[in-house]
Structure 1
């Protein structure tokens, strides 16, 4: 084997200096060559990897390297080239175990000191290069914060593009740093970007990508043991499970999410609301009502950074809670409480400036109010509730709105509405409005409609 062949003094010294690999040797060779070049000497490029390996083996080269190469090697190791190519076994034992810098350790030249200084500077530079500027991570965090808080103010397609770009930046930066605390920040950023991609994919009616992004967010959260990030992702998986017609799986996922550590009231309120919806799909009235009460009882004052401090799409305020409970009550065929919760949601949203009202909450709440009124036979009241919804631009018509509108459309097929001009006109409006939604163009279907 090659490692069993006699090695040269050059091999011994390079090993002690920590530059045995060809790449490390070439880097130091280049630094010394540059110093000699600045002194007016002619130097050659570093030996290739094969030539270098021959220099490390006794008898590997028949003649000494040419002067431009020899000059650099002798400066690097402070030995004549003849000594460097001798067998290391011929070195006196004290030389084999002693300093690699010079035959006499007591003699230290300025050139050697400069070489040591350059080595130290190079190592420090390499270490610094393995850490990103913290301002880079601050900028990524700021953009994720703005996107989460502005989620309801941007069209889904725009959110998808921005979130995708932020996820890619986090992934690239993870490869550029070796600092543990920066890895933690970047995995957390990747978890948030993936979660936003899951949410917007669902809004666009693309369930398979939404599920995949939610699982990705959960994995990133698991990597850094971030309870709130994992809970949010599992909550999304639970939400998408009942939307996909698997309410029992949804209940299991929601309960799993509730077990993660570090959750504040907002996170727990959201998870109980999702669990209530799942029970609603199962027509499990008692369990649904119990989950609704649990959601409303989350008032301990506990907070977490994701759901409370960042908030936005990660938040779950009183308006969103009421909107979700309205949908649960509709699943239980309880129009009175559905109207109560939907009205509460719209009232809370009405107290905000118009540009701060998220369509992803106001739209579904208005549709739930309309559907509750249709359950009581009030077509005119339903039309009034839906008028603001019909003004929503096509790019904003996400799955959350579409699934509710289709369910409302099915309410209009009840016998008492057949032939009624107002009911027919409203049904046509719903069909025309739904046809232009991104979710419909992507082929999304609504289990809620099937259960209506």
Structure 2
């Protein structure tokens, strides 16, 4: 290693004969044991990849965690900040060099054997930093399964499982040096982050939802995966109009449409999101144009994320119809909203009951009720909401709840003031909404559908 790149830790570790990762980790474990016996809390040893960074000046951007630093400082009897300094800043640690010309060092067999052992140790460490492919296959399968059962699982359950899978991907990234495995793991991390963005939104937590979506986009950018970046940008567009920024939502949706490798499902989803954003802007022409674009995606192109994995990443005809119904409501088009909502519910009923995603069926039923309220049909609205009122509290996501809030606002119109059925329905909506996860989290309540 170039002397200018060595850290003080490199010199001290070399001097003590623990330059190899095996030697370092053994000594770290010994010192950590001493500290534990003294009542201190410590962390496991850094991974081999992190150890190599600690030895190169400028490679470590942040100071090691306090529980790790405690062990390092005991090992080398020096503050961790000094250990990470360039060795050239502390010349007192360098061996004394004579000003006179010196003869070449005399090597014996022990020197050669030591160098050989170091080389063998390093090669072994490199070989060990390759994950079993079955581990990656299992992570992939778990993410596929989670995505496909997303719509039929309680948000809290999905959040727990997605968090576990994201942590697993991040840990595994530190345990392999294979570029191919890094690509697979970044892709897995992107999927897990995207699912966390979706479920955070369903739980009514917009700020972490946006953060997770940005993380998914960044992971996708790292590996040049267009579909996962498009999905993440679509999520950010969706959250933007939900947060009262429909102009920004249009921009994000159009940006998402420019990523390469997108299939028809991905483009259908992005046009539907764009249509919703135009609906919030009351731009009827552009909203209707985007709806047509969504319905005309039939080239036969596919991509792995939206089509092969599908589930929450998919966007089938039922989900498209549900989203179009919401757009029509934004445009105050009761007839169009009822037509699309009815189509969505009809398509869903063609599936087995246990496979009908609540995240689609619930909002579609509420949209149907709202369309009927626009025509002053309170009884028809109550009929449409009957299955919604049967959804258990932990399954009541923000998409459904904010639509119900909009329906509740419709019931405040003057023509409903003296209607007992309207008052009863309004009370039922309030009681139902009070137990949703979003309300219990004290989340902000921007309207999905403006009154």
Name the TM tier (shorter chain).
0.7 to 0.9
Give the corresponding residue for 2:225. 226
Q: SS of the residue aligned with 2:431?
A: helix
How far did residue 21 of structure 1 move?
Answer: 3.6
Give the corresponding residue for 1:391. 390
Tell me, yes or no, if structure 1 residue 344 matches structure 2 residue 357.
no
Tell me, yes or no, if structure 1 residue 89 matches structure 2 residue 125.
no
Q: Assess if the C-alpha contact under 8 Å between 1:374 and 1:382 holds in 2.
A: yes
Q: SS of the residue aligned with 2:447?
A: helix
CA distance in 2, matches of 1:327, 1:27: 61
Q: How does 1:15-34 map to 2 (within 5 A)?
A: 21-22=14-15
How far did residue 135 of structure 1 move?
Answer: 1.7
Tell me, yes or no, if structure 1 residue 260 matches structure 2 residue 273.
no
Q: SS of the residue aligned with 1:382?
A: helix
CA distance in 1, matches of 2:266, 2:437: 29
CA distance in 2, matches of 1:28, 1:176: 13
Q: TM-score, normalised by structure 2?
A: 0.77
Q: How does 1:193-204 map to 2 (within 5 A)?
A: 193-204=192-203
CA distance in 1, matches of 2:22, 2:287: 73
CA distance in 1, matches of 2:21, 2:386: 74
Q: Assess if the C-alpha contact under 8 Å between 2:143 and 2:165 holds in 1.
A: yes
CA distance in 2, matches of 1:55, 1:381: 86
How far did residue 255 of structure 1 move?
Answer: 0.4
CA distance in 1, matches of 2:294, 2:22: 68
Q: How does 1:24-423 map to 2 (within 5 A)?
A: 89-91=102-104, 100=107, 121-423=120-422
How far did residue 252 of structure 1 move?
Answer: 0.5
CA distance in 2, matches of 1:240, 1:28: 46
Q: SS of the residue aligned with 1:428?
A: helix
CA distance in 1, matches of 2:449, 2:376: 20
Q: Assess if the C-alpha contact under 8 Å between 2:203 and 2:437 holds in 1.
A: yes
Distance 1:54 1:300, change over 3 A: closer
Q: Assess if the C-alpha contact under 8 Å between 1:198 and 1:209 holds in 2.
A: yes
How far did residue 137 of structure 1 move?
Answer: 1.4
Give the corresponding residue for 1:72. none
Distance 1:28 1:241, change over 3 A: closer
CA distance in 1, matches of 2:156, 2:414: 39
Distance 1:90 1:164, change over 3 A: same
How far did residue 167 of structure 1 move?
Answer: 1.0
Structure 1 or 2, whichever has the larger Rg, is 1
Q: Assess if the C-alpha contact under 8 Å between 2:373 and 2:381 holds in 1.
A: yes
Give the corresponding residue for 1:435. 434
Q: Assess if the C-alpha contact under 8 Å between 2:190 and 2:228 holds in 1.
A: yes
How far did residue 422 of structure 1 move?
Answer: 1.3
- For structure 1, which segment, 144-153 or 115-124, has the greater mean C-alpha deviation from structure 2 after superposition? 115-124
Give the corresponding residue for 1:105. none
Distance 1:246 1:54, change over 3 A: closer
How far did residue 440 of structure 1 move?
Answer: 1.6
CA distance in 2, matches of 1:449, 1:25: 60
CA distance in 2, matches of 1:286, 1:224: 37
How far did residue 447 of structure 1 move?
Answer: 3.5
Q: For 1:300-336, what per-residue CA distance to the aligned partner results, in whole angstroms no more than 9, with x for missing partners?
A: 0111111111111111011000000000000000011
Distance 1:26 1:166, change over 3 A: closer
Q: Assess if the C-alpha contact under 8 Å between 2:396 and 2:436 holds in 1.
A: yes
CA distance in 1, matches of 2:282, 2:398: 22
Distance 1:117 1:89, change over 3 A: closer
Q: Assess if the C-alpha contact under 8 Å between 2:230 and 2:259 holds in 1.
A: yes
Give the corresponding residue for 1:69. none
CA distance in 2, matches of 1:343, 1:119: 71
CA distance in 2, matches of 1:209, 1:27: 41
Distance 1:376 1:181, change over 3 A: same
Q: SS of the residue aligned with 1:302?
A: coil
Q: Assess if the C-alpha contact under 8 Å between 1:203 and 1:439 holds in 2.
A: yes
CA distance in 1, matches of 2:272, 2:343: 16
Q: TM-score, normalised by structure 1?
A: 0.77
